[in-house]
Amino acid sequence: MTPEEFESGVNNILDSTKPKGIDGSKGITKAIFKQIVAFFKSLLTETINIASSAGYKGLTSVTSITIGTGSKTFTTNKASTSSAFIAGLRVRVINTTTPTNYMEGVITSFTSTTLIVIVDYVAGSGTYAIWEIAVAGQKGLDGSNSVGGTQNFLQKLNSALGFVNSLIYDNGTGVGVNTTSIGSHKFTVEGDTNVNGILYITEWQAFANTVGSILGIGGLVASQFSQIDFYTNGVISYKVKSAGQVEFQNYIDSPYYKMGSWKILDFVSNTLKLGGINPSEWTAVEIHTSGSVRVRITASGVEINSLGTGTVYSNSGILTNTNPSDKKLKKGINPIAYGLNEILQLTPVTYFWKEDKIEQGIQFGFIAQDVKEIMPDLVKEGEGYLGLDKEAIYTVLVKAIQELKADVDSLRSEINR
């Protein structure tokens, strides 16, 4: 009822009837009664104005929004300073035309006339551009978000959604974190796990995966106490024993460490060798305690022995301490076909190596694929990768400078005529 409707109704009653005490003889007079009515009218008007200015009647918006969960942004008819709506308040946003289509959520921000609501519950569907926004009650414990919603899940309190499922699953015989597939295990975690502190293991069988590839610390049976086993399809492929012995492929033949049928360490001479395990089998690679390196030691001799020290360059398969460039080593010598035109087409770039173990940092150069389109002779193809002869770029740059010099000389001649 509006203040005007209140006043009109009272006047109609006074005009059509003559209540006791309003006849001028006793009780209050009609004039005094009308003053009382005017006071209540004023009070009612002020109450409505206060409620309206504070936003208790709700907000409206003509923002086109599609019904759905997630963040929704509305432009409201009132600014935040003229409204009682604040961040953290749960609201219902109702389509004015069809009130059965609505959204509910929590206000995360209300600045000026921009209202942001994180919607977690919807009814109906569609896209609308006329909304009423009113205060809603906190979401109750119903369905999957209730204590009895999803069986065996531990509940947690979410300020926006009420009670929701946590990541902890407990079926009474075991506990899973981020998983319900716990089998017969007491505790199962799906995903990366960080332990900030000491992890104490009281059983001899510390870690084990009994399916497929296995890492066993402490072994899989009691007889393998204080041992680390690496398994592949149920077979030990690498073993570290408590006495310090190491086995590959389940083989050990002291004084050698072996990998399959290949000897990798000779304890007798303190020499690292790669080769056969029998004396009749010649060593393929040997690093001796003297510091010498021997490669392919065969019955006929040593192909490379004691490389020594110094800078080593490789060019066309020849090892030298300088970059070979003697004319006697070259054939098919011809002028360069590339020059200024090709240089101008190149795209210099900066980049970082994806695998940069020595931390070289930013690099300057070219992309081999780009250069191949312009000067294919400068690019070499390997196993799935391209290589770029950077020295060839320098040579082409010299040719380009020579061409520029010729152009400059020609221009000078034209000017001096």
Q: Which of 9-18, 43-52, 176-185, 256-265 comes out lowest in average pLDDT?
A: 256-265
For residue 99, cis peptide bond before it (omega within 30 degrees of 0)? no
pLDDT digits (tens, 9 = 90+) for 325-339: 788 888 999 999 999
Residue 136 neighbours by CB under 8 Å, 6+ apart: 90, 91, 92, 104
Residue 17's pLDDT band, with cuts at 50, 70 and 90, is low
Residue 164's pLDDT band, with cuts at 50, 70 and 90, is confident
Residue 139 has pLDDT above 70, yes or no: no
Residue 41 has pLDDT above 60, yes or no: yes
Specify the pLDDT at position 251: 44
The separation between the first and the last C-alpha atoms of the chain, rounded to the nearest angstrom, is 103
Residue 57's pLDDT band, with cuts at 50, 70 and 90, is low
Average pLDDT on 10-30 reads: 56
Residue 241 neighbours by CB under 8 Å, 6+ apart: 227, 247
- More reliable by pLDDT, 393 or 222: 393
Q: What values do phi and psi take at 39, rounded to 5?
A: -65, -45
Q: What percent of the chain lies above the pLDDT cut of 90?
A: 29
**Contact indicator for 85, 106 with CB cutoff of 8 Å:** no
- More reliable by pLDDT, 280 or 322: 322
Specify the pLDDT at position 116: 96
- More reliable by pLDDT, 43 or 225: 43
Residue 151's pLDDT band, with cuts at 50, 70 and 90, is confident
Please state, rounded to an integer, the average pLDDT across all residues of the chain.
74
Specify the pLDDT at position 38: 73
- More reliable by pLDDT, 28 or 394: 394
pTM value is: 0.29
Average pLDDT on 201-228 reads: 56
Average pLDDT on 6-17 reads: 62
Q: What values do phi and psi take at 77, rounded to 5?
A: -75, -15
- More reliable by pLDDT, 113 or 290: 113
pLDDT digits (tens, 9 = 90+) for 386-417: 888 888 899 999 999 999 999 999 999 989 88
pLDDT digits (tens, 9 = 90+) for 275-307: 654 555 555 566 666 555 666 555 555 555 443
pLDDT digits (tens, 9 = 90+) for 68-112: 999 999 999 999 888 889 998 889 999 999 999 999 999 999 999
| Helical (H) or strand (E) element with 407 | helix 390-416
pLDDT digits (tens, 9 = 90+) for 123-133: 999 999 999 99
CA distances from 416 to 268, 409, 411 (A): 84, 11, 9
Q: Which of 150-159, 183-192, 380-389 comes out lowest in average pLDDT?
A: 150-159
Residue 142's pLDDT band, with cuts at 50, 70 and 90, is very low
- More reliable by pLDDT, 99 or 142: 99
**Contact indicator for 133, 115 with CB cutoff of 8 Å:** yes
- More reliable by pLDDT, 385 or 150: 385
Specify the pLDDT at position 152: 83
Residue 340 has pLDDT above 90, yes or no: yes
**CA–CA distance, 318 with 56 (Å, rounded to integer):** 89
Residue 224's pLDDT band, with cuts at 50, 70 and 90, is low
**CA–CA distance, 132 with 62 (Å, rounded to integer):** 9
